[in-house]
Structure 1
């Protein structure tokens, strides 16, 4: 999709490089700090934008989800969550700020409602979004016909919530 925007390619590359490094370190820290490896189950809801992790049936961690976007493998397309009218409002969080960041900085991928699916471009978009919204981590739910991409925020040990 080309909307005629001027594109600051070197600026975009710098943003993506910084976002990629940030996402890698934050993801590793999230997994280590909160014990998200091994025999861990999770439950999530777009209606209330929540995710919980449990071990042996006991919830030990909760967090807030912001949906970044979705991939249709059948159509080979990406759709930003801010452009998807069928999503519950709660799961959108502040995703509109990502679109605005793209407009303000001439990075067309961010304000386009969708684009043809290219795994590397989707990865760049996810990481840039996570950086703009200061996410603690990224999370993907894969299905037969697609993928749902989320940011994770506000992680709290269940014992700390009481």
Structure 2
């Protein structure tokens, strides 16, 4: 007998709506509060799950990254970071919490290791992950054939910028 919860699409839509609203306001607040527009450069690393922003060669902001997942544009697929054995453990943060939430609540997109890339479904997964893991913001990077998707946490201004 299957004792997993059944998928309730209207419930999923409510979760996504709340997560989207939260992520949008937090993203806007992050960009405005830290001035993350204009002549800003950034550098990130999966090895230590860190991101830094600088202006004129001077770092003014650092944060911790959690990799959410990646999109292979040539294959048209999404892969959750928790299902990607090639990633450094530190880059995964608490992403397993997202998978467990999906299992516990019958939201299949969250515990599936991967799925066909549908931009709206990827956006929903990213927003729910951001909400569940209390992210300050979302970050994405495109490299050749791959889009990498991250959550940003623990933002800290450098000493001279507080």
The alignment's TM-score, normalised by the length of structure 1, stands at: 0.95
Aligned residue in 2 for 1:143: 143
Aligned residue in 2 for 1:154: 154
Aligned residue in 1 for 2:51: 51
Q: Is the 8 A contact 1:82 1:92 kept in 2?
A: yes
Q: Distance in 2 between matches of 1:146 and 1:85?
A: 16
Q: Distance in 2 between matches of 1:54 and 1:126?
A: 26
User: How many residues matched?
Assistant: 159
Cα root mean square deviation, aligned: 1.6
Q: Distance in 1 between matches of 2:123 and 2:90?
A: 23
Q: Distance in 2 between matches of 1:145 and 1:22?
A: 30
Give runs of aligned pairs for residues 1-162 of structure 1, distance below 5 A. Answer: 6-159=6-159
Q: Distance in 2 between matches of 1:128 and 1:102?
A: 10
Q: Residues 112-146 of structure 1: CA distance to partner in whole angstroms, max 9, x if unpaired?
A: 00000000000000000000000000000012201
Q: Residues 72-100 of structure 1: CA distance to partner in whole angstroms, max 9, x if unpaired?
A: 00000000000000000010000000000
Structure 1 segments of 4+ aligned residues over 4 angstroms from their partners:
none
Q: Is the 8 A contact 1:67 1:149 kept in 2?
A: yes
Q: Distance in 2 between matches of 1:90 and 1:8?
A: 33
Q: Is the 8 A contact 1:40 1:53 kept in 2?
A: yes
Q: Distance in 2 between matches of 1:5 and 1:75?
A: 31
Show structure 1 runs of 5+ residues with no match.
none
Q: Distance in 2 between matches of 1:138 and 1:160?
A: 25
Q: Distance in 2 between matches of 1:24 and 1:142?
A: 21
Q: Distance in 1 between matches of 2:152 and 2:87?
A: 17
Show structure 2 runs of 5+ residues with no match.
none
Q: Distance in 1 between matches of 2:144 and 2:47?
A: 22
The alignment's TM-score, normalised by the length of structure 2, stands at: 0.95
